């Protein structure tokens, strides 16, 4: 009978450890998913900002040498992400396709100007920076007119800030929930061993000797649950890359490596701290308080 009871107890302990690892792995997976969303929110906002820029309409009579010199100057600016040159002829072809008829043949001349579209680096897509850049571009001798959409820039920045605050608040809330869940799960697991802890203490075992195997087990469980969470996150990323390959064209995979490392280390750190505190709590209890 005693042997059967011990076997049942061992099964319950193993089941408790497995359920703890699985439940915490899912919580870490949710935290990692939020991290991926935050990373991509920043990448997408930068991508949107880098498609905002100026259209520089060029003066008549510029030679290819003049245009090349202008392009070289613009490419050397720190705020420039990329430039696109559109000649008078190319502009006419584009408008011809849009209108569905040859307006140049009707007018007997091409009224359009050549232009250079200057797309900004995301760090410079702010209202103050854009106004300063506009003044600088207007002073270029080859430029006749500078055109850009300040309302669009303001709207993009305002929406990016709002989304950023919402995601930051949700991240903090989820992090608190993660820490609380992991801590409570570990405390419940240690609670089932409170009599063993007290027995070891009564026979003369030191606090360090008692807590060492529990802390080691907690850290090991943390490692396992962290690895499971990383496997789940990798599976999600693989599924996204398979169905939306262009999704990862914007990505810096070093950021994901840092994210995965943080998720793993966070789980191990919380396990270590929570296990240590839980064991110390039962070590300080009197025997009568355990029931």
Q: How many CA atoms lie within 13 A of 206 on its CB side?
A: 3
Per-residue pLDDT at 247: 58
CB 142 within 8 A of CB 58: yes
Of 136, 107, 139, 130, residue with least CA distance to 53: 130
Q: Tell me, what's the pLDDT at 192?
A: 67
DSSP 17-56: HHHHHHHHHHHHHHHHHHHHHHHHHHHHHHHHHTT-EEEE
pTM for the structure as a whole: 0.54
Report helix, strand or coil for 270: helix
Mean pLDDT by 10 residues, the chain (291 residues): 48 61 75 76 76 84 85 89 85 76 69 84 83 87 83 76 79 76 70 72 72 76 78 79 61 70 76 75 63 55
Query: Strand 143-147 to strand 115-120: parallel, antiparallel, or no bridges (unpaired)?
Result: unpaired
* Domains of the chain as residue ranges with CATH: 2-47+166-290 (no CATH), 53-148 (3.30.70.3040)
Quote the pLDDT of residue 288: 57
> Strand order of the sheet with strand 143-147?
80-86, 115-120, 53-58, 143-147
């Amino acid at each position: 009978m005693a042997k059967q009871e011990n076997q049942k107890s061992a099964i319950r302990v193993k089941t408790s450890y497995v359920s703890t690892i699985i439940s915490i792995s899912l919580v870490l997976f949710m935290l990692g998913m939020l991290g991926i969303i935050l990373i991509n929110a920043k990448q997408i906002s930068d991508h949107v900002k880098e498609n905002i820029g100026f259209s520089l309409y060029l003066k008549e009579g510029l030679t290819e040498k003049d245009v090349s010199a202008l392009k070289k100057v613009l490419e050397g600016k720190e705020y420039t992400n990329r430039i696109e040159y559109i000649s008078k002829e190319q502009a006419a072809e584009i408008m011809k396709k849009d209108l569905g008829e040859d307006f140049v043949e009707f007018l007997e001349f091409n009224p359009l100007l050549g232009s250079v579209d200057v797309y900004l680096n995301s760090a410079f897509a702010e209202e103050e920076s854009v106004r300063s850049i506009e003044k600088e571009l207007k002073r270029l001798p080859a430029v006749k007119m500078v055109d850009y959409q300040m309302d669009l820039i303001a709207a993009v920045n305002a929406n990016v800030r709002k989304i950023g605050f919402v995601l930051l608040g949700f991240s903090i809330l989820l992090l608190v929930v993660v820490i609380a869940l992991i801590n409570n799960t570990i405390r419940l697991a240690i609670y089932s061993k409170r009599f063993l802890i007290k027995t070891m203490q009564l026979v003369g075992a030191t606090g360090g000797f008692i807590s060492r195997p529990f802390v080691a087990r907690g850290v090991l469980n943390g490692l396992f649950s962290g690895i499971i969470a990383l496997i789940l996150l990798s599976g999600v990323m693989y599924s996204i890359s398979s169905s939306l390959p262009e999704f990862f064209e914007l990505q810096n995979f070093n950021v994901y490596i840092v994210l995965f490392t943080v998720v793993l280390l966070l789980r191990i750190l919380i396990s270590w701290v929570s296990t240590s505190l839980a064991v110390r709590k039962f070590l300080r209890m009197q025997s009568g308080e355990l029931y």
